[in-house]
Amino acid sequence: MLAFAKQNGIPVRGHCIFWDSPDYQPKWVPSLSPEEIKDSAYKRLQSVVSRYSGQFVNWDVNNENLHFQYYEQILGANATDVFFEMANQLDPSTRMFMNEFNTLEWSGDALVQYVTKIQEIRNLYPNIPTGIGLESPNIPCVRAALDTLASAGVPIWLTELDVSVENGTELQASYLEQILREAHSHTAVEGIVLWAARNETGLDKLIDEWKPQISEGLTDSYGDFKTLLFHGDYDVTINHPSMNSTLSRRFEVTALETSVQNSEDTVVDV
């Protein structure tokens, strides 16, 4: 599977090194002593991360650590911090992620805990590249929740995105499109992974819309031309009907301080 992804230019995430829920441990783990669990955990981390070092875009280090505390209860309160540090030593070029569910749809203390945990890891191990992974968001709180999480100063990925079908498939498709647009437009979001089979017609339509496009048009009577642009580098070429030459400029649309503003605020002086 990894070879197929590489051959087709598909980025791969490492999910996950550990899962902090007691319900998702191998059957033989609960019978071990704390010291044996520690040795087994360290051996797994060493084996898995060493095998795939440099091959993933990011790792989910200890899945759903804010909801569950299995390793903390056995190995100590800083168990996850140690996992992050060890994984980073073995694979320093790959960003290490926290990955949680119910983070966007139920805002409040959970968001604060998320930011606090990220800051705790970065305070202990400041050189570890970290990030935030979010499972299954809902629409009403997405913007506010993303803004809150972005205050941690690390990239955000929507890692297990799905939308309930309880209101019918047409409404489901509409909700999914709204969430995709909301996440894609937020400056802190670097990746989106669908937790479902994809509909090529709908998904490819959005991807085609988001691909870089050539924008052409005429200036108004004041010499202004407006268009919507994504963040990135652009070349602009200006032609005048009474001149045989063209004027070219290069400019950059950068991430703004808040996700409310848009790229129409960019002005290019020529």
Could you give the residue numbers annotated as active site?
A: 64, 160
Mean pLDDT computed over 141-150: 81
The burial of 236, by beta-carbon neighbours within 10 Å (0-12 exposed, 13-18 middle, 19 or more buried), is given as middle
User: Which of 51-65, 160-174, 220-234 bottoms out in mean pLDDT, i.e. has the lowest?
Assistant: 160-174
Q: Are 82 and 142 in contact (CB under 8 A)?
A: no
* Of 161, 181, 210, the domain-final residue: 210
Same domain, 10 and 115: yes
Same domain, 156 and 197: yes
Give the per-residue pLDDT at 244: 80
- For position 101, which CATH number holds? 3.20.20.80
**Beta strands in the chain, from DSSP E residues, in sequence order:** 13-19, 58-63, 95-101, 130-135, 156-161, 189-194, 232-239, 246-253
| pLDDT tens digits along 7-43 | 999 999 999 999 999 999 999 999 999 999 999 999 9
Q: Residue 260's domain spans which residues?
A: 213-270
| pLDDT tens digits along 45-55 | 999 999 999 99
Is the pLDDT confidence value at 111 over 80?
no
* Of 210, 225, 244, the domain-final residue: 210
Same domain, 182 and 258: no
Same domain, 255 and 139: no
* Total domains present in the chain: 2
Same domain, 117 and 162: yes
Q: If pLDDT is split at 50, 70 and 90, which confidence band does 140 have?
A: low
Tell me the pLDDT of the chain averaged across its residues. 82
* Of 163, 187, 210, the domain-final residue: 210
> What's the chain's length in residues?
270
- Two tokens, residue 21: 């829920």
Percent of the chain's residues with pLDDT above 90:
38
